[in-house]
Structure 1
Amino acid sequence: MTAPGSLRPGPIRLGLIGYGAIGRHIEAARIDNAELVSVLVKRPRDEGLLTHEPDRFFAHEFDAVAECAGHEAVRRHGERVLENGADFLATSVGAFTDTALFERLLAVARANGKRLILPSAGIGALDILSSAAVGGLDSVTVTVRKDPSAWKGTIAETLVDLDALEQPHVVFDGPVREGARLYPQNVNISAAAAIAGLGLDRTRVVIVADPTIDTHIVELEAAGAFGRFTFREDVAISEENRKTGKLVAMAMVKSVRQLASTLVVAA
């Protein structure tokens, strides 16, 4: 099978794992030179391109598979994607706080001549951060601010009364490895920044429940041999899932588009 990067004749064959706020947007984008072949979903459903049966999904040939379904989907299906000869785009980067899983997927990708791709998804400036890491980094801090409703169903509910908050409240301040593990649906972006830069144990994440905002605010600060930079994004919340921003789906469309394009910007 020819890898997407070599621009095989015809469209690249794309698979999706997950069909929520991100997966639906990728399908709706109708990306040039990319054919959506099949979508693996969790709940029993077999209609059109959708199936809940992994064996049925993996019976197809893919050039790339994009995961948009959470940490468990990375653990359950990542290796099989790579073993079957497809590149694996993982949006749930926080799953790689499990070092054994990360190393296993890298080994399988290497053995099969495929790539484990960590898209920028909901955070910008990873290009600057990964470039700065070449010269050496001294510190990296990611601050994630979301309104209290975004933290419902998380450990934050045991730490503070989210409904009664009137002022911003820090629910976590520590290494990304622990923060991304505790908040698997909310701070995958911090894991992406950590892997791009100083690593999961040396990158700090500050997680804030903030009743004064109705957007998601992410700040990335880094210092090192290159100097220092501060990046801030203030993004609209997805209507389908208040734990994620609209930008995540847009960024995933961009990442898939680049797989299929002869022009790649900000690689």
Structure 2
Amino acid sequence: MRLGLIGFGNIALTLLGQLAETLDAPLEHLTVLSLPEMEAETEARLKGDFASVAREAVVVTDARELLAHRPGLVVECAGHAAVVAHVPPVLHAGIDVVIVSIGALSDAALEAELRAAAIAGGSRLILPAGAVGGIDLLAALGAAGGLEVRYRGSKPPLAWSGTPAEQALDLGALSEAVTFFTGTAREAARDFPKNANVAATLALAGAGFEATHVELVADPAAPGNVHEYSVVSPLAKYSMRIENLPSAGNAKTSVSTVYSVLREIRNRIGPVAI
């Protein structure tokens, strides 16, 4: 497999570590698109810590160079700005892209641009389930219409550092759970781009950004990143609660998100996809 990665932060590093441990054989080729100022450091890490992941590995700094190495699949794990800058030309070139920063699609114009690029290139924009389960059932029920979806995301207070919650609350002093945001999935994904990818995933799979109700909670008793949602449809009703451990390098990201991307890659490589 020829794999491309957009980004070389916590998610990419964890993913590469898992690939090194779980692949039966090295990738044929790995191309990593990094920030120009991180190019040398990224090359050193690939040659050192991740030398066993691929038979060949190169670092590039823009989408044109990434495409020159002919990846069969590209994984974006670098944030909303990277989706805007790099994903459209990759899709337009006919290459499937797995997007981790699903919240970027809360920008309706960007979502339309990505869909148009995929149609023009004959490629697919792949949205992994990430830190939440039951997306297959939600998407199936969505075909019947009439969905009601309510989502509640709870994290330890300091996991909300660097977000608007910091202006509303003294995160370090909370002694009980506080709901600091109530609104639509579009608003949540826009205002909390590093914390609300689950809300965007649920919206895209089900009732849409405006019809998906979201609550965000800072909870000092949270056992990790907790995702709860309920679905009511004419066909079925269900609810789900998932307690995710945070990623070792970033409390905002659930470690299961990385394994969700790993599943997408392994489904491409293996003889059976599930």
Structures share a fold, TM > 0.5?
Answer: yes
Match of 2:54 in 1: none
Residue 59 (structure 2) pairs with residue 51 (structure 1): yes
5+ residue gaps, structure 2, are 47-56
Could you say if the C-alpha distance between residues 36 and 211 of structure 1 is closer, same or farther in structure 2, counting changes exceeding 3 Å? farther
State how far apart, in whole Å, the 1-side matches of 2:207 and 2:130 are.
19
Identity of aligned residues (%): 35
SS class of match (1:163): helix
Residue 86 (structure 2) pairs with residue 93 (structure 1): no
1:206 pairs, out of 190, 206, 215, with 215
Match of 1:18 in 2: 7
Amino acid of the structure 2 residue aligned with 1:138: L
State how far apart, in whole Å, the 2-side matches of 1:137 and 1:124 are.
21
Is the 8 Å Cα contact of residues 89 and 117 (structure 2) preserved in structure 1?
no
Paired residues, number: 254
- The CA deviation at 1:122 is 1.1
Is the 8 Å Cα contact of residues 68 and 91 (structure 1) preserved in structure 2?
yes
SS class of match (1:242): strand
Is the 8 Å Cα contact of residues 223 and 243 (structure 2) preserved in structure 1?
no
Instruction: Please give the per-residue CA displacement for 1:245-267, whole angstroms capped at 9, x wherever unaligned.
Output: 111111110111112233121xx
Residues 117-266 of structure 1 aligned to structure 2 (within 5 Å): 117-265=126-274
Q: Which has the higher contact order (CA 8 A, sep 6+)?
A: 1
| Between structures 1 and 2, the one with greater helix share | 2
Amino acid of the structure 2 residue aligned with 1:37: L
CA-atom RMSD in angstroms: 1.6
- The CA deviation at 1:137 is 3.3
Instruction: Please give the per-residue CA displacement for 1:14-60, whole angstroms capped at 9, x wherever unaligned.
Output: 10011222212322214357544211122431325453511433321
State how far apart, in whole Å, the 2-side matches of 1:261 and 1:200 are.
34
Match of 1:5 in 2: none
Question: After TM superposition, which residue ranges in structure 1, 4 or more long, deviate above 4 angstroms?
Answer: none
Amino acid of the structure 2 residue aligned with 1:190: A
State how far apart, in whole Å, the 2-side matches of 1:83 and 1:129 are.
29
Greater mean deviation of Cα atoms: 144-153 or 75-84: 75-84
SS class of match (1:170): strand
Calculate the TM-score normalised by the size of structure 2.
Answer: 0.88
State how far apart, in whole Å, the 1-side matches of 2:253 and 2:184 are.
21
- The CA deviation at 1:197 is 0.2
State how far apart, in whole Å, the 2-side matches of 1:109 and 1:17 are.
17
Instruction: Please give the per-residue CA displacement for 1:167-224, whole angstroms capped at 9, x wherever unaligned.
Output: 1111211100001110000110110110000000100111001111241110111001
Is the 8 Å Cα contact of residues 237 and 245 (structure 1) preserved in structure 2?
yes
Greater mean deviation of Cα atoms: 140-149 or 43-52: 43-52
State how far apart, in whole Å, the 2-side matches of 1:45 and 1:128 are.
41
